[in-house]
Amino acid sequence: MDLLNTLVEKGLRRETPTREEALAVLATSDDEVLDVVAAAGKVRRAWFGRRVKLNYLVNLKSGLCPEDCSYCSQRLGSKSEILKYTWLKPEQAAAAAGAGVAGGAKRVCLVASGRGPTDRDVERVSQTIAAIKEEHQDVEICACLGLLSQGQAERLKDAGANAYNHNLNTSEATYGDITTTHTYADRVSTVQQAQAAGMSACSGLIAGMGESDADLVDVVFSLRELDPDSVPVNFLIPIEGTPLAGDWNLTPQRCLRILAMVRFVCPDVEVRLAGGREIHLRSLQPLALHLANSIFLGDYLTTEGQAGKDDLAMIADAGFEVEGADTTTLPAHRADAAAAAGAGCGGHGGEGGGCGPCGDAAPADAVPAQATAAAPGAGPVASERSHADLVAVRRRGAGTDLPPNA
């Protein structure tokens, strides 16, 4: 179709589509979804080949957050039965990170719930970065700690953080509908602080929160203007005990259209297939690899993901290859610009957000909750299960005595 040919040509030139063209991608029918994937796949391969970058989440501090983000199981007033624990020790976090690196992860994302870090928290994270880098010198570190105060981005950069994640999540017009304890402008400011400090910026969105097509296009165009190196695309994980627990608004085909639209608008950026891919894309996950060039390996912050070995098998079966540590993620023009700015690496990272905490610190006397049972095995196919059965709360890895999924 003429629309797709035009978008491919624009993507190869790094030219921004019009809003009408982006909206038209989201409006295509299910009958056309393979055509949309094939077109956006040409843009993805032009800039990233058939490489897939693996990223691994380490939840440094879980739950007990004073922010009220509607999508988040760690929010103020959440009734979700998630793991709750205070800061992992540097050696604990390094051990968790090592499991991801052993599974093929090139980047480790260090996440902590909280409105934003205190200076003491920044020092804790700095010690954790040092512990990880001591064992895995070449691994990329992305910090995700919430809203930053003056000077904190520079301190994280000096400690060895390559990137900082803070997602915009949704359009500015609807941001107040999902969060009231901070603003959209607060999030934009934090991303800009990370960029000014010389870190590679990672900022993305959450789809499936009841937003319109126009909202999706608005947030993606805002991201294009903000120009992060990576854009994680999360699909809402409706976790019991959160205000959005009943919001099951996505089909696999719609998820593919959203990913394709993001790729057309952000052709040469690391597009990451993030939280919620397993429960919304389900058996169509391999098709998403033709659109995204980056995924999270294993589990998320408070929910379980696909088994790490199944992630690797999916990548291989789909004809893609895991990106090596010695390969620069971003195309040369972006990698060179990042190096000139001092970012120092070539690419980057919501339960509804692979990296995107909100809230405040856990009490100092809190202790990690301990898991009492192994993760549930694979069950019936999605069509035979209730929606709630598709979401499994994380009971292994960081904050437990059970080995992580990597």
What is the pTM for the complete model shown?
0.87
| 144 among known catalytic residues | no
Apex 249 CA angle, 247 and 254, nearest 5? 155
Task: Choose, from 72, 144, 255, 345, the residue flagged as catalytic.
Answer: 72
Task: Choose, from 44, 75, 107, 109, the residue flagged as catalytic.
Answer: 109
| 358 among known catalytic residues | no
Q: Do 108 and 97 form a contact (C-beta atoms < 8 A)?
A: yes
Choose among 365, 381, 351, 166: nearest CA to 241: 351
Rounded CA-CA distance 217/265 in Å is 9
CB neighbour list of residue 67: distance below 8 Å, 6 or more residues apart: 75, 76, 115, 179, 181, 182, 358, 359, 360
Plot region of 14 (φ>0 → left; ψ -120 to 50 → alpha; else → beta): left
**Residue ranges for the binding site?**
65, 69, 72, 109, 142, 202, 272
| 266 among known catalytic residues | no
Annotated domain spans of the chain: 2-341
Condensed to tens digits (0 to 9), the pLDDT of residues 381-392 reads: 444 345 667 887
CA 272 to the chain's CA centroid: 6
Terminal-to-terminal C-alpha distance of the chain: 41
Task: Choose, from 44, 187, 272, 396, the residue flagged as catalytic.
Answer: 272
DSSP letter for 380, please: S
Angle, helix 252-265 to helix 2-13, in steps of 10 degrees: 50
Task: Choose, from 69, 255, 266, 355, the residue flagged as catalytic.
Answer: 69
Q: Do 36 and 4 form a contact (C-beta atoms < 8 A)?
A: yes
pLDDT at 370: 35
Task: Choose, from 44, 107, 202, 263, the residue flagged as catalytic.
Answer: 202
CA 142 to the chain's CA centroid: 11
Condensed to tens digits (0 to 9), the pLDDT of residues 188-209 reads: 999 999 999 999 999 999 999 9
CA 211 to the chain's CA centroid: 19
Q: Do 136 and 331 form a contact (C-beta atoms < 8 A)?
A: no
Domain at 2-341, CATH from 3.20.20.70, 3.10.110.10, 3.40.50.300, 1.10.3720.10: 3.20.20.70
CB neighbour list of residue 175: distance below 8 Å, 6 or more residues apart: 169, 183, 184
- Average pLDDT of the chain to the nearest whole number: 86
Condensed to tens digits (0 to 9), the pLDDT of residues 248-265 reads: 999 999 999 999 999 999
Which range, of 82-96, 164-178, 281-295, 334-348, averages the lowest pLDDT? 334-348
Rounded CA-CA distance 94/133 in Å is 9
Task: Choose, from 142, 144, 345, 358, the residue flagged as catalytic.
Answer: 142
Given a cut of 60, whether residue 316 has pLDDT beyond it is yes
Structure tokens at 300: 């998320």
Q: Do 348 and 229 form a contact (C-beta atoms < 8 A)?
A: yes
Q: Do 234 and 205 form a contact (C-beta atoms < 8 A)?
A: yes
pLDDT at 84: 79
Using pLDDT thresholds of 50, 70 and 90, give the confidence band for residue 343.
low
**Residue ranges for the binding site for [2Fe-2S] cluster?**
109, 142, 202, 272
| 255 among known catalytic residues | no
pLDDT at 318: 97
Condensed to tens digits (0 to 9), the pLDDT of residues 131-144 reads: 999 999 999 999 99
Mean pLDDT of 155-167: 97
CB neighbour list of residue 149: distance below 8 Å, 6 or more residues apart: 116, 117
**Residue ranges for the binding site for [4Fe-4S] cluster?**
65, 69, 72
pLDDT at 4: 98
Q: Do 231 and 262 form a contact (C-beta atoms < 8 A)?
A: yes
Given a cut of 50, whether residue 279 has pLDDT beyond it is yes
| 355 among known catalytic residues | no
Given a cut of 80, whether residue 27 has pLDDT beyond it is yes
DSSP letter for 62, please: B
Using pLDDT thresholds of 50, 70 and 90, give the confidence band for residue 77.
low
Structure tokens at 194: 């990370």
pLDDT at 78: 64
